[in-house]
Chains A and B, each alone.
Chain A
Amino acid sequence: MNSNRRYEIRLSGSGGQGLIMAGIILAEASSLYGGYNAIQSQSYGPEARGGASKAEVIISPDEIFFPKAQKLDLLLSLSQDACDKYYHDLKGDGILVVDTTYVKAVPHHERVYAHPFTRIAIEKMGKAIVTNILCLGALAGIVKYVKLEHLKKTLKDRLPEHLLELNLKALDEGHGLIG
Protein backbone atom coordinates (compact mmCIF):
# COMPACT_ATOMS: atom_id res chain seq x y z
CA MET A 1 0.00 0.00 0.00
CA ASN A 2 3.00 2.28 0.29
CA SER A 3 5.11 3.87 -2.35
CA ASN A 4 7.77 4.19 0.33
CA ARG A 5 10.68 1.86 0.14
CA ARG A 6 9.73 -0.60 2.85
CA TYR A 7 10.34 -4.24 1.98
CA GLU A 8 8.16 -6.76 3.75
CA ILE A 9 9.37 -10.32 4.36
CA ARG A 10 7.50 -13.14 6.06
CA LEU A 11 9.34 -16.31 7.04
CA SER A 12 6.78 -19.06 7.56
CA GLY A 13 6.67 -22.73 8.36
CA SER A 14 6.16 -24.88 11.44
CA GLY A 15 7.25 -24.29 15.02
CA GLY A 16 10.80 -25.54 15.53
CA GLN A 17 12.11 -24.69 12.06
CA GLY A 18 14.08 -21.76 13.44
CA LEU A 19 12.09 -19.07 11.69
CA ILE A 20 12.13 -16.56 14.53
CA MET A 21 15.90 -16.93 14.88
CA ALA A 22 16.22 -16.52 11.11
CA GLY A 23 14.10 -13.35 11.33
CA ILE A 24 16.29 -11.91 14.06
CA ILE A 25 19.49 -12.68 12.12
CA LEU A 26 17.98 -11.16 8.99
CA ALA A 27 16.99 -7.99 10.86
CA GLU A 28 20.37 -7.70 12.57
CA ALA A 29 22.31 -8.22 9.33
CA SER A 30 20.34 -5.64 7.38
CA SER A 31 20.27 -3.02 10.13
CA LEU A 32 23.46 -3.38 12.19
CA TYR A 33 25.67 -4.18 9.17
CA GLY A 34 23.59 -3.11 6.17
CA GLY A 35 22.76 0.29 7.60
CA TYR A 36 19.03 -0.02 6.85
CA ASN A 37 16.22 0.23 9.34
CA ALA A 38 14.58 -3.04 10.37
CA ILE A 39 11.63 -4.16 12.44
CA GLN A 40 11.17 -7.81 13.33
CA SER A 41 8.08 -9.32 14.88
CA GLN A 42 6.53 -12.74 15.29
CA SER A 43 3.35 -14.49 16.16
CA TYR A 44 3.16 -15.79 19.69
CA GLY A 45 0.74 -18.11 21.36
CA PRO A 46 -0.50 -21.61 20.70
CA GLU A 47 -0.06 -21.25 16.96
CA ALA A 48 3.69 -20.86 17.51
CA ARG A 49 3.97 -24.60 18.25
CA GLY A 50 3.20 -26.77 15.26
CA GLY A 51 0.71 -25.49 12.71
CA ALA A 52 1.65 -22.43 10.72
CA SER A 53 4.12 -20.13 12.45
CA LYS A 54 5.67 -16.92 11.15
CA ALA A 55 8.31 -14.29 11.69
CA GLU A 56 8.20 -10.97 9.90
CA VAL A 57 10.99 -8.61 8.97
CA ILE A 58 10.44 -5.19 7.45
CA ILE A 59 13.51 -3.49 6.01
CA SER A 60 13.76 0.03 4.64
CA PRO A 61 16.27 2.77 3.95
CA ASP A 62 13.58 5.07 5.44
CA GLU A 63 12.12 5.23 8.91
CA ILE A 64 9.70 2.34 9.42
CA PHE A 65 6.44 3.11 11.18
CA PHE A 66 3.79 0.38 11.01
CA PRO A 67 5.58 -2.70 12.39
CA LYS A 68 3.45 -5.43 10.80
CA ALA A 69 3.59 -6.70 7.22
CA GLN A 70 0.62 -5.70 5.08
CA LYS A 71 1.40 -6.81 1.52
CA LEU A 72 4.42 -9.08 1.35
CA ASP A 73 7.33 -8.45 -0.99
CA LEU A 74 8.71 -11.88 -0.13
CA LEU A 75 7.19 -14.97 1.41
CA LEU A 76 9.37 -17.88 2.47
CA SER A 77 7.36 -21.01 3.21
CA LEU A 78 8.88 -24.13 4.73
CA SER A 79 5.57 -25.98 5.04
CA GLN A 80 2.51 -26.55 2.90
CA ASP A 81 0.25 -25.20 5.67
CA ALA A 82 2.17 -21.96 5.88
CA CYS A 83 2.30 -21.56 2.13
CA ASP A 84 -1.46 -22.08 1.84
CA LYS A 85 -2.20 -19.75 4.75
CA TYR A 86 0.04 -16.84 3.79
CA TYR A 87 0.25 -16.94 -0.01
CA HIS A 88 -2.72 -14.59 -0.33
CA ASP A 89 -0.76 -11.90 1.54
CA LEU A 90 1.91 -11.83 -1.18
CA LYS A 91 1.96 -8.96 -3.68
CA GLY A 92 1.25 -9.89 -7.30
CA ASP A 93 4.85 -9.07 -8.18
CA GLY A 94 6.16 -10.38 -4.85
CA ILE A 95 8.60 -13.25 -4.55
CA LEU A 96 7.63 -16.70 -3.29
CA VAL A 97 10.40 -18.92 -1.92
CA VAL A 98 9.34 -22.45 -1.03
CA ASP A 99 10.99 -25.52 0.44
CA THR A 100 9.91 -28.28 -1.91
CA THR A 101 10.86 -30.87 0.70
CA TYR A 102 7.48 -30.05 2.27
CA VAL A 103 5.65 -27.76 -0.14
CA LYS A 104 4.36 -30.06 -2.86
CA ALA A 105 1.56 -27.88 -4.20
CA VAL A 106 3.36 -24.68 -5.20
CA PRO A 107 0.94 -21.86 -6.09
CA HIS A 108 1.00 -20.61 -9.67
CA HIS A 109 2.97 -17.44 -9.25
CA GLU A 110 5.23 -15.44 -11.52
CA ARG A 111 8.28 -15.14 -9.30
CA VAL A 112 9.00 -18.39 -7.51
CA TYR A 113 12.18 -19.89 -6.15
CA ALA A 114 11.52 -23.54 -5.34
CA HIS A 115 14.28 -25.63 -3.78
CA PRO A 116 14.33 -28.61 -1.41
CA PHE A 117 16.08 -26.59 1.33
CA THR A 118 15.58 -29.15 4.11
CA ARG A 119 16.73 -32.05 1.96
CA ILE A 120 19.82 -30.09 0.90
CA ALA A 121 20.56 -29.26 4.53
CA ILE A 122 20.35 -32.93 5.48
CA GLU A 123 22.26 -34.24 2.49
CA LYS A 124 24.98 -31.59 2.20
CA MET A 125 25.28 -30.35 5.79
CA GLY A 126 24.23 -33.49 7.58
CA LYS A 127 21.77 -31.54 9.74
CA ALA A 128 18.21 -30.35 9.09
CA ILE A 129 18.67 -27.76 11.82
CA VAL A 130 20.64 -25.42 9.54
CA THR A 131 17.77 -25.19 7.02
CA ASN A 132 16.84 -21.74 8.33
CA ILE A 133 20.38 -20.46 7.74
CA LEU A 134 20.54 -22.07 4.34
CA CYS A 135 17.35 -20.19 3.43
CA LEU A 136 18.86 -16.91 4.61
CA GLY A 137 21.78 -17.53 2.23
CA ALA A 138 19.25 -17.86 -0.57
CA LEU A 139 17.45 -14.65 0.48
CA ALA A 140 20.76 -12.78 0.27
CA GLY A 141 20.76 -13.57 -3.43
CA ILE A 142 17.20 -12.32 -3.85
CA VAL A 143 16.61 -9.31 -1.57
CA LYS A 144 18.70 -6.24 -2.34
CA TYR A 145 18.69 -5.10 1.30
CA VAL A 146 20.27 -8.37 2.46
CA LYS A 147 23.95 -9.05 1.81
CA LEU A 148 25.71 -12.38 2.32
CA GLU A 149 28.68 -10.75 4.06
CA HIS A 150 26.36 -9.01 6.54
CA LEU A 151 24.69 -12.32 7.37
CA LYS A 152 28.13 -13.85 7.92
CA LYS A 153 29.14 -11.05 10.29
CA THR A 154 25.90 -11.49 12.21
CA LEU A 155 26.45 -15.23 12.57
CA LYS A 156 29.98 -14.54 13.84
CA ASP A 157 28.49 -12.25 16.52
CA ARG A 158 25.90 -14.75 17.63
CA LEU A 159 27.37 -18.23 17.32
CA PRO A 160 30.01 -20.04 19.34
CA GLU A 161 33.08 -21.21 17.43
CA HIS A 162 32.03 -24.85 17.11
CA LEU A 163 28.75 -23.99 15.37
CA LEU A 164 30.03 -21.17 13.22
CA GLU A 165 31.71 -23.15 10.46
CA LEU A 166 28.67 -25.33 9.75
CA ASN A 167 26.37 -22.33 9.65
CA LEU A 168 28.65 -20.31 7.39
CA LYS A 169 28.77 -23.29 5.04
CA ALA A 170 24.97 -23.46 5.11
CA LEU A 171 24.77 -19.77 4.17
CA ASP A 172 27.09 -20.31 1.19
CA GLU A 173 25.20 -23.43 0.13
CA GLY A 174 21.89 -21.54 0.19
CA HIS A 175 23.35 -18.57 -1.60
CA GLY A 176 24.72 -20.88 -4.29
CA LEU A 177 21.19 -22.08 -5.10
CA ILE A 178 20.23 -18.68 -6.43
CA GLY A 179 21.74 -18.03 -9.84
Chain B
Amino acid sequence: MANKERKMLLQGNEACALGALDAGCRFFAGYPITPSTEIAEKLSEELPKVGGRFIQMEDELGSICACIGASAMGRKSLTSTSGPGFSLMQEGIGYACCTEMPVVIVNVMRGGPSTGLPTAPAQGDVQQARYGSHGDHEIIVLSASTVAECYHQTVRAFNLAEKYRTPVIMLIDEVVAHMRQNVVLPDAKDLEIIDRKHPQVHPDWYHPYDNENQVPVLADFGEGYRYHVTGLIHDENGYPTTVTEEVTAFIMRINRKISENVDDICRIEYLGSARPDVLVVAYGSVMLTAQEAILKVKEKHKLNVGLVRIDTLWPFPDQLLDKLIDKVKKTCKKIVIAEMNFGQVYREIERINRGRLPLDAYFQVNGELIQPDAIYKKITGVKK
Protein backbone atom coordinates (compact mmCIF):
# COMPACT_ATOMS: atom_id res chain seq x y z
CA MET B 1 0.00 0.00 0.00
CA ALA B 2 1.01 3.58 -0.51
CA ASN B 3 2.74 5.20 2.41
CA LYS B 4 1.84 8.81 1.77
CA GLU B 5 -0.95 11.01 0.49
CA ARG B 6 -2.19 9.91 -2.91
CA LYS B 7 -3.18 12.44 -5.57
CA MET B 8 -5.49 10.71 -8.04
CA LEU B 9 -8.31 11.10 -10.51
CA LEU B 10 -10.93 8.60 -9.40
CA GLN B 11 -14.52 7.57 -9.97
CA GLY B 12 -16.79 7.49 -6.94
CA ASN B 13 -17.04 3.72 -7.33
CA GLU B 14 -13.25 3.36 -7.37
CA ALA B 15 -13.04 5.56 -4.28
CA CYS B 16 -15.50 3.24 -2.49
CA ALA B 17 -13.29 0.28 -3.42
CA LEU B 18 -10.13 2.00 -2.17
CA GLY B 19 -11.88 3.14 1.01
CA ALA B 20 -12.92 -0.45 1.65
CA LEU B 21 -9.36 -1.73 1.14
CA ASP B 22 -7.90 0.92 3.42
CA ALA B 23 -10.51 0.14 6.08
CA GLY B 24 -9.28 -3.45 6.06
CA CYS B 25 -11.86 -5.11 3.78
CA ARG B 26 -10.46 -8.44 2.66
CA PHE B 27 -13.54 -10.11 1.18
CA PHE B 28 -15.87 -9.14 -1.62
CA ALA B 29 -18.72 -11.19 -3.02
CA GLY B 30 -20.96 -9.60 -5.59
CA TYR B 31 -22.93 -9.80 -8.77
CA PRO B 32 -21.91 -6.97 -11.11
CA ILE B 33 -24.65 -4.49 -11.92
CA THR B 34 -24.61 -1.05 -13.50
CA PRO B 35 -23.94 1.53 -12.08
CA SER B 36 -21.94 -0.21 -9.34
CA THR B 37 -19.78 -2.55 -11.44
CA GLU B 38 -16.52 -0.58 -11.10
CA ILE B 39 -16.47 -1.37 -7.37
CA ALA B 40 -16.36 -5.10 -8.12
CA GLU B 41 -13.95 -4.53 -11.01
CA LYS B 42 -11.49 -2.57 -8.87
CA LEU B 43 -11.63 -5.05 -6.00
CA SER B 44 -11.16 -8.02 -8.34
CA GLU B 45 -7.80 -6.45 -9.18
CA GLU B 46 -6.80 -5.18 -5.76
CA LEU B 47 -8.02 -7.78 -3.24
CA PRO B 48 -5.74 -10.62 -4.42
CA LYS B 49 -2.74 -8.30 -4.03
CA VAL B 50 -3.39 -7.93 -0.30
CA GLY B 51 -4.34 -11.51 0.47
CA GLY B 52 -8.06 -10.87 0.13
CA ARG B 53 -10.72 -12.89 -1.67
CA PHE B 54 -12.94 -11.80 -4.54
CA ILE B 55 -15.88 -13.95 -5.63
CA GLN B 56 -18.29 -13.22 -8.44
CA MET B 57 -21.47 -14.88 -7.18
CA GLU B 58 -24.46 -16.37 -8.97
CA ASP B 59 -26.77 -13.59 -7.78
CA GLU B 60 -27.28 -10.96 -5.09
CA LEU B 61 -28.84 -13.36 -2.55
CA GLY B 62 -25.68 -15.43 -2.68
CA SER B 63 -23.53 -12.29 -2.58
CA ILE B 64 -24.87 -10.89 0.69
CA CYS B 65 -24.89 -14.34 2.32
CA ALA B 66 -21.29 -15.05 1.28
CA CYS B 67 -20.32 -11.72 2.87
CA ILE B 68 -22.11 -12.64 6.11
CA GLY B 69 -20.32 -16.00 6.11
CA ALA B 70 -16.93 -14.37 5.51
CA SER B 71 -17.69 -11.88 8.27
CA ALA B 72 -18.43 -14.76 10.67
CA MET B 73 -14.94 -15.99 9.82
CA GLY B 74 -13.54 -12.61 10.86
CA ARG B 75 -13.09 -10.99 7.45
CA LYS B 76 -14.28 -7.44 6.87
CA SER B 77 -16.66 -7.94 3.95
CA LEU B 78 -18.19 -5.82 1.23
CA THR B 79 -20.76 -6.27 -1.48
CA SER B 80 -21.94 -3.69 -3.99
CA THR B 81 -25.10 -3.51 -6.03
CA SER B 82 -27.86 -1.33 -7.42
CA GLY B 83 -31.63 -1.21 -6.92
CA PRO B 84 -32.66 -4.59 -8.40
CA GLY B 85 -29.88 -6.38 -6.51
CA PHE B 86 -30.53 -4.37 -3.36
CA SER B 87 -34.13 -5.61 -3.35
CA LEU B 88 -32.86 -9.19 -3.50
CA MET B 89 -30.43 -8.57 -0.66
CA GLN B 90 -33.07 -7.49 1.85
CA GLU B 91 -33.47 -10.96 3.33
CA GLY B 92 -29.73 -11.23 3.89
CA ILE B 93 -29.56 -7.74 5.36
CA GLY B 94 -32.20 -8.71 7.92
CA TYR B 95 -30.25 -11.88 8.70
CA ALA B 96 -27.07 -9.82 9.25
CA CYS B 97 -29.02 -7.51 11.60
CA CYS B 98 -30.37 -10.44 13.59
CA THR B 99 -27.11 -12.40 13.74
CA GLU B 100 -25.15 -9.15 14.29
CA MET B 101 -22.63 -9.80 11.55
CA PRO B 102 -20.81 -6.69 10.35
CA VAL B 103 -21.03 -6.25 6.60
CA VAL B 104 -20.94 -3.24 4.29
CA ILE B 105 -23.26 -2.93 1.30
CA VAL B 106 -22.75 -0.20 -1.30
CA ASN B 107 -25.99 0.47 -3.14
CA VAL B 108 -25.50 2.76 -6.13
CA MET B 109 -28.99 4.05 -6.76
CA ARG B 110 -30.30 4.03 -10.32
CA GLY B 111 -33.75 4.78 -11.70
CA GLY B 112 -36.47 2.36 -10.61
CA PRO B 113 -38.78 0.62 -9.91
CA SER B 114 -37.72 -2.83 -11.13
CA THR B 115 -34.81 -2.84 -13.59
CA GLY B 116 -35.78 0.77 -14.26
CA LEU B 117 -33.05 2.96 -15.69
CA PRO B 118 -29.72 1.12 -15.41
CA THR B 119 -27.48 4.04 -16.35
CA ALA B 120 -29.41 6.92 -14.83
CA PRO B 121 -29.29 8.40 -11.32
CA ALA B 122 -32.06 8.33 -8.71
CA GLN B 123 -32.43 8.47 -4.94
CA GLY B 124 -35.42 6.19 -4.69
CA ASP B 125 -33.94 3.67 -2.25
CA VAL B 126 -33.72 5.86 0.86
CA GLN B 127 -36.75 4.35 2.57
CA GLN B 128 -36.01 0.86 1.28
CA ALA B 129 -32.57 1.05 2.90
CA ARG B 130 -34.33 1.76 6.21
CA TYR B 131 -37.36 -0.49 6.02
CA GLY B 132 -36.64 -2.91 3.17
CA SER B 133 -36.06 -5.86 5.47
CA HIS B 134 -38.93 -7.05 7.64
CA GLY B 135 -39.19 -6.81 11.41
CA ASP B 136 -38.22 -4.08 13.85
CA HIS B 137 -34.58 -3.36 13.35
CA GLU B 138 -32.28 -0.37 13.22
CA ILE B 139 -29.87 0.11 10.37
CA ILE B 140 -27.02 2.49 9.58
CA VAL B 141 -27.05 4.18 6.17
CA LEU B 142 -24.45 6.69 4.98
CA SER B 143 -24.40 8.91 1.90
CA ALA B 144 -21.72 10.66 -0.18
CA SER B 145 -21.86 13.57 -2.59
CA THR B 146 -18.28 13.69 -3.89
CA VAL B 147 -15.58 11.19 -4.83
CA ALA B 148 -13.60 12.09 -1.71
CA GLU B 149 -16.68 11.49 0.44
CA CYS B 150 -17.15 8.10 -1.21
CA TYR B 151 -13.73 7.13 0.11
CA HIS B 152 -14.11 8.53 3.62
CA GLN B 153 -17.69 7.38 4.11
CA THR B 154 -16.79 3.83 3.06
CA VAL B 155 -14.02 3.80 5.66
CA ARG B 156 -16.58 5.07 8.18
CA ALA B 157 -19.09 2.43 7.08
CA PHE B 158 -16.62 -0.32 7.94
CA ASN B 159 -15.77 1.29 11.27
CA LEU B 160 -19.44 1.56 12.24
CA ALA B 161 -20.16 -1.99 11.05
CA GLU B 162 -17.34 -3.34 13.22
CA LYS B 163 -18.12 -1.16 16.21
CA TYR B 164 -21.84 -1.93 16.34
CA ARG B 165 -21.75 -5.39 14.74
CA THR B 166 -24.38 -4.51 12.19
CA PRO B 167 -24.79 -4.16 8.43
CA VAL B 168 -24.00 -0.66 7.17
CA ILE B 169 -25.29 0.59 3.85
CA MET B 170 -23.50 3.13 1.69
CA LEU B 171 -26.23 4.78 -0.37
CA ILE B 172 -24.80 6.68 -3.33
CA ASP B 173 -26.19 7.50 -6.75
CA GLU B 174 -25.10 6.98 -10.35
CA VAL B 175 -23.75 10.51 -10.76
CA VAL B 176 -21.38 10.34 -7.79
CA ALA B 177 -20.49 6.72 -8.58
CA HIS B 178 -19.48 7.38 -12.18
CA MET B 179 -17.99 10.86 -12.15
CA ARG B 180 -14.23 11.20 -11.96
CA GLN B 181 -12.79 13.87 -9.72
CA ASN B 182 -9.28 14.75 -8.62
CA VAL B 183 -8.82 13.79 -4.96
CA VAL B 184 -6.07 13.55 -2.41
CA LEU B 185 -6.47 10.37 -0.40
CA PRO B 186 -4.78 10.19 2.98
CA ASP B 187 -2.05 7.76 3.87
CA ALA B 188 -3.98 4.66 4.86
CA LYS B 189 -1.82 4.47 7.97
CA ASP B 190 -3.26 7.77 9.20
CA LEU B 191 -6.86 6.51 9.17
CA GLU B 192 -8.67 5.66 12.37
CA ILE B 193 -9.64 2.03 11.89
CA ILE B 194 -12.00 0.19 14.22
CA ASP B 195 -11.79 -3.61 14.46
CA ARG B 196 -14.33 -5.85 16.19
CA LYS B 197 -13.48 -7.12 19.66
CA HIS B 198 -12.62 -10.74 20.28
CA PRO B 199 -13.65 -12.78 23.33
CA GLN B 200 -11.06 -13.10 26.07
CA VAL B 201 -12.89 -15.62 28.30
CA HIS B 202 -12.38 -19.40 28.32
CA PRO B 203 -14.60 -21.04 25.65
CA ASP B 204 -16.64 -22.77 28.40
CA TRP B 205 -17.68 -19.39 29.78
CA TYR B 206 -18.46 -17.77 26.45
CA HIS B 207 -21.96 -16.38 25.85
CA PRO B 208 -21.99 -15.07 22.27
CA TYR B 209 -25.18 -13.02 22.56
CA ASP B 210 -24.75 -11.86 26.14
CA ASN B 211 -27.29 -9.08 26.65
CA GLU B 212 -25.10 -7.46 29.31
CA ASN B 213 -23.02 -6.08 26.44
CA GLN B 214 -24.84 -3.66 24.17
CA VAL B 215 -22.65 -4.95 21.34
CA PRO B 216 -21.82 -8.63 21.78
CA VAL B 217 -18.27 -9.88 21.50
CA LEU B 218 -18.54 -12.46 18.75
CA ALA B 219 -15.74 -14.94 18.12
CA ASP B 220 -14.51 -15.65 14.62
CA PHE B 221 -15.43 -19.12 13.46
CA GLY B 222 -12.38 -21.32 13.79
CA GLU B 223 -11.03 -19.28 16.69
CA GLY B 224 -11.88 -22.03 19.19
CA TYR B 225 -15.26 -20.84 20.40
CA ARG B 226 -18.32 -22.92 19.52
CA TYR B 227 -21.59 -21.07 19.12
CA HIS B 228 -24.83 -21.17 17.22
CA VAL B 229 -25.88 -18.59 14.63
CA THR B 230 -29.51 -18.25 13.59
CA GLY B 231 -31.95 -15.76 12.16
CA LEU B 232 -34.49 -16.94 14.72
CA ILE B 233 -34.65 -14.76 17.82
CA HIS B 234 -32.02 -16.28 20.07
CA ASP B 235 -30.94 -16.40 23.71
CA GLU B 236 -27.55 -15.39 24.99
CA ASN B 237 -26.04 -18.65 23.75
CA GLY B 238 -27.40 -18.16 20.27
CA TYR B 239 -30.16 -20.80 20.49
CA PRO B 240 -33.73 -20.06 19.35
CA THR B 241 -36.07 -18.80 22.05
CA THR B 242 -39.67 -17.65 22.37
CA VAL B 243 -39.39 -16.81 26.06
CA THR B 244 -40.86 -13.32 26.33
CA GLU B 245 -38.13 -11.97 28.63
CA GLU B 246 -35.38 -13.28 26.39
CA VAL B 247 -37.08 -12.04 23.22
CA THR B 248 -37.55 -8.61 24.77
CA ALA B 249 -33.94 -8.41 25.96
CA PHE B 250 -32.66 -9.34 22.51
CA ILE B 251 -34.92 -7.08 20.45
CA MET B 252 -34.36 -4.11 22.74
CA ARG B 253 -30.61 -4.59 22.65
CA ILE B 254 -30.18 -4.87 18.87
CA ASN B 255 -32.31 -1.74 18.42
CA ARG B 256 -30.81 0.23 21.28
CA LYS B 257 -27.22 -0.44 20.32
CA ILE B 258 -27.91 1.91 17.43
CA SER B 259 -30.69 4.20 18.67
CA GLU B 260 -28.79 5.00 21.89
CA ASN B 261 -25.63 5.85 19.95
CA VAL B 262 -27.00 8.36 17.46
CA ASP B 263 -24.57 10.99 18.78
CA ASP B 264 -21.76 8.82 17.48
CA ILE B 265 -23.44 7.64 14.29
CA CYS B 266 -25.41 10.63 12.96
CA ARG B 267 -23.66 13.36 11.05
CA ILE B 268 -24.77 16.35 9.05
CA GLU B 269 -22.61 19.09 7.51
CA TYR B 270 -23.82 22.66 7.62
CA LEU B 271 -22.45 25.08 5.04
CA GLY B 272 -23.22 28.71 4.40
CA SER B 273 -24.80 31.52 6.33
CA ALA B 274 -25.24 31.37 10.10
CA ARG B 275 -28.41 33.46 9.70
CA PRO B 276 -29.98 32.03 6.56
CA ASP B 277 -33.05 33.43 4.82
CA VAL B 278 -33.46 30.03 3.19
CA LEU B 279 -32.26 26.62 4.31
CA VAL B 280 -31.57 23.98 1.65
CA VAL B 281 -31.39 20.27 2.50
CA ALA B 282 -29.66 17.85 0.13
CA TYR B 283 -27.60 14.67 -0.03
CA GLY B 284 -25.73 12.74 -2.71
CA SER B 285 -25.25 14.34 -6.12
CA VAL B 286 -28.13 16.79 -5.54
CA MET B 287 -25.78 18.43 -3.03
CA LEU B 288 -23.59 19.42 -6.01
CA THR B 289 -26.61 20.92 -7.75
CA ALA B 290 -27.51 22.85 -4.61
CA GLN B 291 -23.99 24.24 -4.22
CA GLU B 292 -23.98 25.38 -7.86
CA ALA B 293 -27.40 26.99 -7.39
CA ILE B 294 -26.22 28.82 -4.27
CA LEU B 295 -23.20 30.24 -6.17
CA LYS B 296 -25.62 31.82 -8.61
CA VAL B 297 -27.87 33.10 -5.81
CA LYS B 298 -24.86 34.83 -4.22
CA GLU B 299 -24.01 36.54 -7.52
CA LYS B 300 -27.43 37.97 -8.12
CA HIS B 301 -29.25 38.27 -4.80
CA LYS B 302 -28.72 39.46 -1.27
CA LEU B 303 -30.28 36.34 0.17
CA ASN B 304 -28.39 34.38 2.80
CA VAL B 305 -28.55 30.68 2.16
CA GLY B 306 -27.73 27.82 4.48
CA LEU B 307 -27.11 24.33 3.16
CA VAL B 308 -27.37 21.05 5.07
CA ARG B 309 -25.74 17.93 3.72
CA ILE B 310 -27.13 14.76 5.26
CA ASP B 311 -24.19 12.40 5.71
CA THR B 312 -26.02 9.84 7.85
CA LEU B 313 -29.37 9.02 6.28
CA TRP B 314 -30.28 6.40 8.91
CA PRO B 315 -30.75 6.65 11.80
CA PHE B 316 -32.13 9.93 10.51
CA PRO B 317 -30.30 12.81 12.25
CA ASP B 318 -33.41 13.96 14.15
CA GLN B 319 -31.64 15.70 17.02
CA LEU B 320 -29.11 17.50 14.84
CA LEU B 321 -31.77 18.82 12.47
CA ASP B 322 -34.15 19.67 15.32
CA LYS B 323 -31.46 21.87 16.90
CA LEU B 324 -30.59 23.40 13.55
CA ILE B 325 -34.19 24.36 12.82
CA ASP B 326 -34.43 25.97 16.27
CA LYS B 327 -31.24 27.90 15.60
CA VAL B 328 -32.24 29.28 12.20
CA LYS B 329 -36.00 29.72 12.63
CA LYS B 330 -35.75 33.43 13.51
CA THR B 331 -34.29 34.43 10.13
CA CYS B 332 -35.24 31.50 7.93
CA LYS B 333 -38.32 31.89 5.72
CA LYS B 334 -38.42 28.35 4.43
CA ILE B 335 -36.66 25.04 4.06
CA VAL B 336 -36.09 23.71 0.53
CA ILE B 337 -35.62 19.96 0.19
CA ALA B 338 -34.37 18.69 -3.18
CA GLU B 339 -34.09 15.01 -4.00
CA MET B 340 -34.35 12.57 -6.89
CA ASN B 341 -37.45 10.81 -5.55
CA PHE B 342 -40.96 11.82 -4.49
CA GLY B 343 -40.09 12.98 -1.00
CA GLN B 344 -38.37 10.18 0.89
CA VAL B 345 -36.27 12.58 2.98
CA TYR B 346 -38.86 15.36 2.75
CA ARG B 347 -41.22 13.36 4.96
CA GLU B 348 -38.53 12.96 7.61
CA ILE B 349 -37.84 16.71 7.61
CA GLU B 350 -41.59 17.37 7.82
CA ARG B 351 -41.75 15.10 10.89
CA ILE B 352 -38.83 16.82 12.63
CA ASN B 353 -39.87 20.35 11.63
CA ARG B 354 -43.22 20.06 13.44
CA GLY B 355 -44.57 23.06 11.54
CA ARG B 356 -41.87 25.48 12.68
CA LEU B 357 -40.91 26.60 9.16
CA PRO B 358 -42.67 26.42 5.79
CA LEU B 359 -41.35 23.57 3.64
CA ASP B 360 -40.78 23.66 -0.09
CA ALA B 361 -39.59 20.79 -2.25
CA TYR B 362 -38.13 19.96 -5.62
CA PHE B 363 -38.63 16.32 -6.52
CA GLN B 364 -37.39 14.98 -9.85
CA VAL B 365 -37.69 11.40 -11.03
CA ASN B 366 -36.75 11.36 -14.71
CA GLY B 367 -33.30 9.80 -14.82
CA GLU B 368 -31.49 13.15 -14.83
CA LEU B 369 -29.58 14.95 -12.13
CA ILE B 370 -31.56 17.97 -10.93
CA GLN B 371 -30.34 21.14 -12.67
CA PRO B 372 -29.06 24.10 -10.60
CA ASP B 373 -31.75 26.41 -12.00
CA ALA B 374 -34.49 24.33 -10.41
CA ILE B 375 -33.07 24.85 -6.92
CA TYR B 376 -32.11 28.45 -7.74
CA LYS B 377 -35.75 29.21 -8.48
CA LYS B 378 -36.89 27.60 -5.23
CA ILE B 379 -34.39 29.65 -3.23
CA THR B 380 -35.03 32.98 -4.92
CA GLY B 381 -38.78 32.55 -4.76
CA VAL B 382 -38.46 33.93 -1.23
CA LYS B 383 -39.17 37.59 -0.47
CA LYS B 384 -36.64 39.06 1.94
List residues of chain A with CB under 8 Å of any chain B CB.
1-4, 24, 27-28, 31-32, 37-45, 64-68, 70
Q: In the complex, what distance in Å separates the CA atom of A37 from the CA atom of B34?
A: 27
Interface pair A32/B7, CB less than 8 Å apart: yes
Stretch of B44-52, B178-186, B197-205 on the interface side: B178-186
B interface size (C-beta, 8 A) = 26
* Residues B89-110 near A (CB distance < 8 A): none
> Chain B residues near A4 (CB, 8 Å)?
295
Interface pair A67/B7, CB less than 8 Å apart: no
Interface pair B291/A65, CB less than 8 Å apart: yes
Interface pair A1/B296, CB less than 8 Å apart: yes
* Any A CB within 8 A of the CB of B8: yes
Q: Sample 16 A-B pairs with CB under 8 A, ordered by A number.
A: A1-B372, A2-B292, A32-B8, A32-B9, A32-B182, A39-B180, A40-B179, A40-B180, A41-B175, A41-B178, A41-B180, A45-B118, A65-B292, A67-B181, A70-B371, A70-B372
> Chain B residues near A32 (CB, 8 Å)?
7-9, 182
Q: In the complex, what distance in Å separates the CA atom of A4 from the CA atom of B9?
A: 22
* Any A CB within 8 A of the CB of B192: no
Q: In the complex, what distance in Å separates the CA atom of A45 from the CA atom of B179?
A: 15
Q: In the complex, what distance in Å separates the CA atom of A64 from the CA atom of B183?
A: 12
Q: In the complex, what distance in Å separates the CA atom of A67 from the CA atom of B179?
A: 7
Which residue of chain B has its CB nearest to the CB of A34?
B182
Interface pair A38/B181, CB less than 8 Å apart: yes
Interface pair A66/B180, CB less than 8 Å apart: no
List residues of chain B with CB under 8 Å of any chain A CB.
7-9, 34-35, 118-120, 175, 178-182, 285, 288-289, 291-292, 295-296, 299, 369, 371-373
- Expressed in whole angstroms, the minimum distance between the Cβ of B366 and any Cβ of chain A is 14
Interface pair A66/B296, CB less than 8 Å apart: no
- Most chain-B CB neighbours within 10 Å: which of A4, A27, A38, A67? A67
Interface pair B9/A66, CB less than 8 Å apart: no
Interface pair A3/B182, CB less than 8 Å apart: no
**Interface of A: prevailing SS:** loop
Q: In the complex, what distance in Å separates the CA atom of A165 from the CA atom of B243?
A: 75
Interface pair B178/A42, CB less than 8 Å apart: yes
Interface pair A3/B289, CB less than 8 Å apart: no
Interface pair A44/B295, CB less than 8 Å apart: no
Q: In the complex, what distance in Å separates the CA atom of A70 from the CA atom of B293?
A: 13
Interface pair A66/B292, CB less than 8 Å apart: yes
> Chain A residues near B118 (CB, 8 Å)?
45
Interface pair A3/B180, CB less than 8 Å apart: no
Q: In the complex, what distance in Å separates the CA atom of A64 from the CA atom of B179?
A: 12
Q: In the complex, what distance in Å separates the CA atom of A66 from the CA atom of B9?
A: 17
> Chain B residues near A2 (CB, 8 Å)?
292, 295-296
> Chain A residues near B179 (CB, 8 Å)?
39-41, 67
Given A4-B295, A24-B9, A32-B8, are A37 and B182 also a contact pair (CB < 8 Å)? Answer: yes
Given A37-B182, A42-B178, are A67 and B285 also a contact pair (CB < 8 Å)? Answer: yes
- Name the contact of A27 in the complex, choosing from B180, B291, B292, B296 (C-beta under 8 A): B180
Q: In the complex, what distance in Å separates the CA atom of A3 from the CA atom of B296?
A: 8
> Chain A residues near B34 (CB, 8 Å)?
44
Which residue of chain A has its CB nearest to the CB of B294?
A65
Q: In the complex, what distance in Å separates the CA atom of A45 from the CA atom of B9?
A: 23
- Expressed in whole angstroms, the minimum distance between the Cβ of B175 and any Cβ of chain A is 6
- Expressed in whole angstroms, the minimum distance between the Cβ of B200 and any Cβ of chain A is 47
Which residue of chain B has its CB nearest to the CB of A57?
B180
- Expressed in whole angstroms, the minimum distance between the Cβ of B218 and any Cβ of chain A is 41
